[in-house]
Structure 1
Amino acid sequence: MFSDIIASIRNHQYWTYSVWLKFGLTYRKTSLGPFWLVVSPAVFIGFLGYLFSYVNKKPIEVFIPHLSVGYITWVFISGILNAAPTLFVRRRSELLQGQMRLTDIVFSDIFQGLLTYLHQMLVVVAVFVWFSISLTPAAILSLIGLGLIILNAVWVYLVLGTLGARYRDLVEMLTAIVRLGFFITPIIWIPENGQGGVLGAFLILNPFYHFLELVRAPLLGQPIAMINWIVVISITLFGFLFAEILYRRVSRFVPLWV
């Protein structure tokens, strides 16, 4: 698996060019082009931000930046989880040509999601400018958090894409989990500092929360809790270990399953 990953990174021309081409063809006859990707999250954050700031009894200048970073990052994470089970089924024609590695297809989808995420982060930039939020030097840590999300996307796509090719019900299960994850993760609500009790324990057991905090906390000038690093790094290591075992055993069957 790792040799294929390295080979896909070295020979990135195919999957980078194909994604750029798809972006160009999709938006070539629109006035705003790819910036249409910004409209939907901007409207969502604008309306829901003002509404839920009153519901949560939080100042607007606190809640909307929290919501904007959290929601945009959540869209990226949820997009990975929703797309992963159907990856190889959707890319069946390319896979059956026999000239592409599974990892080539994985990196293609990740790159496409990353481009969408970077476009939508313009909403966050606008929010920070509007509320005069200054970044601290610690904000650079959010890039490490984003890197860890992308790194985990590799094994998530390989594992869920392989299992999804064999078990088509997996996509329905993931859809339900992701839909629930939006509400149980602090995106449209803000946990109290030093949250304890049942809710505090629940947050610790929520992997989405830990990945989200690695990106959001540094941008908002908040410290990253050690538990966030521990959980994310542990998930990364165990995820790649499981992906390696699965890849060695069944990756050759994926073209037959799709």
Structure 2
Amino acid sequence: MQATSTVDRPEVPPASTKSRSFRRAFADVREAWAHRELWGHLGWQDIKQRYRRSVIGPLWITISMATTALALGLLYSTLLGTPIDTFLPYVTVGFIIWNFILGCVIEGTDVFIVNEGLIKHLPAPITIHVMRMVWRQVLFLLHNLVVYVIVLAIFFTALDKPYQMTPNGPMNPGLSWEIVLAIPGLVLLALNAVWVALLFGVISTRFRDIPPVVNSFINLVFFMTPIVWDASILTKVTGGGDMGWRMLVAELNPVYHFVEIVRAPLLGHTVDWHHWAIVGGFTVVGWFAALVILRNYRARVSYWV
């Protein structure tokens, strides 16, 4: 019997490496989008199930948002010495956007863990579970926008003309046709929510310490983000003087830019171009990182959950 050398044998890659391709990663996202009727229906059912047997149902979302925005708007407008007719809409819109970001990040970290049964028994792209979660948060956002409409109707006369958020702050032009810029801002928020949930969801499935770490860190992000305070106060110092370097507290916070591209058009503020540039950069880099994770570990999620 003639012995054959292992060197001459063609090397066969392990089966697990065959699925590691960007083609399959893109296919997972593409197939998930093709099943949008499925995750769209499931996301709507999640909300109906949460408020099952409730008298007013999802309106509790709107009531909760309204009471929180009203309480904090009244409190911080007094503490900061800002007019309530312009500061309350500012806080309201900030909270609406923040709740969407918060929900996507918190639920995104365990999006695959809570769907363990479906992942193991339903042969479907794992991105479907992310789409379902993001769609559910979009529905929450649409419910909360009712509060913005009510606040806008009440304080429209104050927002329809040039105004200042703080006594020494910059002059805002007021509401105009630029309010439509909030639509692409919301689209970018949703696009980034998908890659954030994909990235953190896969990592959290492997390392279960990630969700509690994110839950603890997210509270710090809230207080460091201009939501209940205006970013312009960072440049003001008692006794005068320019302390523009303090704006780095806000500028180095990526959440600030995501909030601003939606909040500024809705309140009649000028949206600086650098907010769009930074959000666009995060969108490209974030999706690339998510696709890399999806390429390498998509097939392992069913074993980790």
Question: What is the TM-score when the length of structure 1 is the normalising length?
Answer: 0.96
Please tell me whether residue 213 in structure 1 is matched to residue 253 in structure 2. Answer: no
Letter in 2 for 1:73: I
Q: Secondary structure at the match of 1:101?
A: coil
Match of 2:110 in 1: 86
Work out which of the residue numbers 286, 290, 296 in structure 2 matches 1:239.
Answer: 286
Moved more, 159-168 or 13-22: 13-22
Work out which of the residue numbers 214, 227, 230 in structure 2 matches 1:187.
Answer: 227
User: Whose radius of gyration is greater, 1 or 2?
Assistant: 2
Please tell me whether residue 166 in structure 1 is matched to residue 206 in structure 2. Answer: yes
Letter in 2 for 1:237: V
Please tell me whether residue 251 in structure 1 is matched to residue 292 in structure 2. Answer: no
Aligned-pair CA distance for 1:107: 0.4
Q: Distance in 1 between matches of 2:126 and 2:198?
A: 8
Please tell me whether residue 18 in structure 1 is matched to residue 58 in structure 2. Answer: no
Match of 1:227 in 2: 274
Q: Secondary structure at the match of 2:269?
A: coil
Runs (5+) with no aligned partner, structure 2: 1-24, 161-174, 236-242
Moved more, 23-32 or 102-111: 23-32
Please tell me whether residue 142 in structure 1 is matched to residue 182 in structure 2. Answer: yes
Letter in 2 for 1:181: V
Match of 1:51 in 2: 75
Q: Distance in 1 between matches of 2:293 and 2:48?
A: 35
Match of 1:27 in 2: 51
Q: Secondary structure at the match of 1:87?
A: coil
Larger helix percent: 1
Moved more, 207-216 or 226-235: 226-235
Aligned-pair CA distance for 1:194: 9.2
Runs (5+) with no aligned partner, structure 1: none
Q: Secondary structure at the match of 1:100?
A: coil
Q: Distance in 2 between matches of 1:41 and 1:227?
A: 30
Letter in 1 for 2:121: Q
Moved more, 2-11 or 107-116: 2-11
Measured against aligned partners, the alpha-carbon deviations of 1:130-178 in whole angstroms (never above 9, x if no partner) come to 1124542101111111110100111111110000000011111211221
Match of 1:157 in 2: 197
Aligned-pair CA distance for 1:98: 3.7
What root-mean-square deviation, in Å, do the aligned CA atoms of Structure 1 and Structure 2 show? 1.5
Match of 2:155 in 1: 131
Q: Secondary structure at the match of 1:89?
A: coil
Match of 1:68 in 2: 92
Question: What is the TM-score when the length of structure 2 is the normalising length?
Answer: 0.81
Aligned residues: 258
Letter in 2 for 1:226: W
Letter in 2 for 1:159: L
Q: Distance in 1 between matches of 2:48 and 2:73?
A: 32
Letter in 1 for 2:135: F
Q: Is the 8 A contact 2:61 2:143 kept in 1?
A: yes
Match of 1:41 in 2: 65
Identity among equivalent pairs (%): 32
Q: Distance in 2 between matches of 1:70 and 1:205?
A: 18
Q: Distance in 1 between matches of 2:49 and 2:202?
A: 29
Q: Distance in 2 between matches of 1:165 and 1:187?
A: 31
